[in-house]
Every structure is written in structure tokens, then in C-alpha cells.
């Protein structure tokens, strides 16, 4: 069991893990840092040091808080660097001061973001990634995870795809022609450089289809509006019923009744004409 600076044992509350939506196996150190929750024993130590600080005049309340904060973060950083746990999270967040004072929009950590920052779940092995994890890396965590891992040329190429998907997934930016046109140019640049960086033999149909995805956004609005992620969980049911004639007929009928089917049908006919 962990102990405070006075040698007294203490047990952490499970609240940090719940806040970041993490597994129970995530270490206490990682949970506290990701949740931006200062350990309780450090808060007590900061108040103790601030109270005994020498000075003829009593400092203001704001000065005391700044001093407490300084002691807290300094000791927390020392403990963060000395711990043998949370090696993956520490490699992603080496400085607690920068993490607490980050200027990016503070969003609530999702389940998959916590997995990425703690190295748990499917993020233990990239070969186990599903489409959801790749989307998480592309739109949210990849710009930080890959910054010190990839070369500048490869990282800049990744940024082109990241910016493009951010624009095309936004209901606001995807409604602006200037941003959509910019995303189209970035995708063209990404695909052309993709061939130079990874080789022509890696340019698959999926890479080529990126050149046409902007047209889909112009027709059907942001990417999430016609994404197939919602149907991924039903693939198992479809596989179970693939040999059932009645089930196949029902699926075909429902698809043809869907308005999206009519839109695709009309668009395809117009393009053929």
C-alpha cells in the first residue's frame, strides 16, 4: 500500500478511474494524472509547507494558493518520474505541468482515449485495432502520439489526413465551400506523397478512394452522417442469417425501402448519364 510523506498508509479512491473511463488495471498514478486530480496527500503537504513558510507579513490568499500549487506540482512531478508504473502514460505525458496547463480544448476523456493513453485494451497491440481505434488515432490522439515517433516527412503527411478528416467530420466546416475545397487539395497532396513515402505497391483502393470522399461529403453532408460504424455491431447477426433465404429477402427489402438507397440510386444514374 502507498504511503504519504509522513509514512502513513493511504488508499486511493476509485473516482479517478471512473472519471477517465479506464480499466481497473490502470495504475493509480496514470488515473490521477489523466484525471488531473492531485493526490490527497500532496494537497496536505502543500498546505503544511505553505503555512510554515517564513515571512514577516502574511501573504495574500492568491499568493498562498500559488505557493501551494508550486509545491504540489513539483512533488507530483518528482513522484511521476520516480514511479515504476505507468511507463506508457509517462511517455505520452512526461510533464505534468504541461498536461495541467494545456491550451487545447479540455474534452472529457472517452473510453478509447483512455485506452490509447494508458496502453490498455486493443492498444496493447496495434494488430488488434478495429476501425474505431484507428479513427480515434486519426482524429484525436494521433497528433500527439506520433509527434516524436515518426519522421517529420511522415508526420506532416499524417497531419494532412488528420486535418482533412477533422474538416469533413465537422458539420460546420464541411458546410463551408472554402474548407471543403482545402480538404480536397490536402487529400490530393496526401495521396501523391503517400506513394513516395510508402511505395506504389501500398496504394490500395482505400487510399485511392480518399480522392473521391470529398464528393461524397458534398452530396451527403459530413462523414458521420453516412458512416457505417453504427452497423458494425450487426455484422455478426448478418453472418448468422446469411444462409437463411427469408432473412436475406427481408434485408434486401429493408435496404431498398431506405431513403439512402434511393439517393445512391439516383446519384449513380445521374453520374452514368
Question: Helices 213-220 and 152-168: crossing angle, nearest 10°?
Answer: 20
pLDDT of residue 184: 93
Least confident span in 4-13, 60-69, 206-215, 226-235: 4-13
How far apart are the C-alpha atoms of 96 and 245, rounded to whole Å? Answer: 59
pLDDT of residue 51: 53
How far apart are the C-alpha atoms of 182 and 184, rounded to whole Å? Answer: 5
pLDDT of residue 48: 53
pTM of the entire predicted model: 0.49
Mean pLDDT over residues 78-96, rounded? 84
How far apart are the C-alpha atoms of 264 and 262, rounded to whole Å? Answer: 6
How far apart are the C-alpha atoms of 62 and 21, rounded to whole Å? Answer: 33
pLDDT tops 70 at residue 153 = yes
pLDDT of residue 263: 46
pLDDT of residue 267: 41
* Mean confidence (pLDDT) of the chain: 75
Pair 163, 138: CB distance under 8 Å: no
Least confident span in 46-60, 62-76, 259-273: 259-273
pLDDT class of 80 with cuts at 50, 70, 90: confident
Measured torsion, CA atoms of residues 214, 215, 216, 218, in degrees rounded to the nearest 10:
90
Give the residue, 132 or 92, on which the prediction is more confident.
92
pLDDT tops 80 at residue 231 = no
pLDDT digits (tens, 9 = 90+) for 160-208: 999 999 999 888 888 899 999 999 999 999 999 998 898 888 888 888 8
Amino acid at each position: 500500500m502507498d504511503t504519504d510523506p509522513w509514512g502513513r498508509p493511504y488508499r486511493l479512491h476509485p473516482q479517478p478511474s471512473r472519471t477517465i473511463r479506464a480499466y481497473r488495471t490502470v495504475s493509480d498514478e496514470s488515473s490521477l494524472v489523466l484525471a488531473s486530480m492531485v493526490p490527497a496527500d500532496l494537497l496536505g503537504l502543500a498546505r503544511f509547507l505553505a503555512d510554515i513558510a517564513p515571512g514577516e507579513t502574511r501573504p495574500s490568499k492568491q499568493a498562498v494558493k500559488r505557493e501551494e500549487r508550486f509545491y504540489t506540482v513539483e512533488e507530483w512531478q518528482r513522484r511521476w518520474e520516480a514511479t515504476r508504473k505507468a511507463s506508457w502514460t509517462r511517455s505520452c505525458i512526461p510533464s505534468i505541468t504541461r498536461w495541467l496547463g494545456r491550451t487545447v480544448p479540455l474534452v472529457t476523456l472517452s473510453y478509447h482515449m483512455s485506452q490509447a493513453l494508458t496502453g490498455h485494451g486493443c492498444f496493447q497491440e496495434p494488430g488488434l485495432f478495429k476501425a474505431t481505434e484507428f479513427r480515434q488515432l486519426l482524429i484525436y490522439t494521433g497528433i500527439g502520439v506520433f509527434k516524436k515517433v515518426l519522421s517529420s516527412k511522415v508526420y506532416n503527411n499524417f497531419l494532412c489526413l488528420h486535418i482533412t478528416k477533422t474538416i469533413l467530420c465537422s458539420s460546420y466546416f464541411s458546410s463551408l465551400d472554402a474548407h471543403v475545397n482545402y480538404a480536397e487539395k490536402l487529400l490530393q497532396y496526401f495521396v501523391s506523397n503517400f506513394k513516395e513515402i510508402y511505395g506504389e505497391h501500398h496504394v490500395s483502393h482505400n487510399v485511392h478512394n480518399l480522392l473521391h470522399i470529398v464528393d461524397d461529403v458534398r452530396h451527403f453532408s459530413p462523414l458521420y452522417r453516412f458512416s457505417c460504424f453504427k452497423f458494425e455491431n450487426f455484422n455478426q447477426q448478418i453472418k448468422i442469417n446469411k444462409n437463411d433465404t427469408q432473412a436475406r429477402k427481408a434485408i434486401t427489402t429493408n435496404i431498398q425501402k431506405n431513403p439512402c438507397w434511393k439517393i445512391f440510386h439516383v446519384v449513380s444514374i445521374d453520374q452514368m448519364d
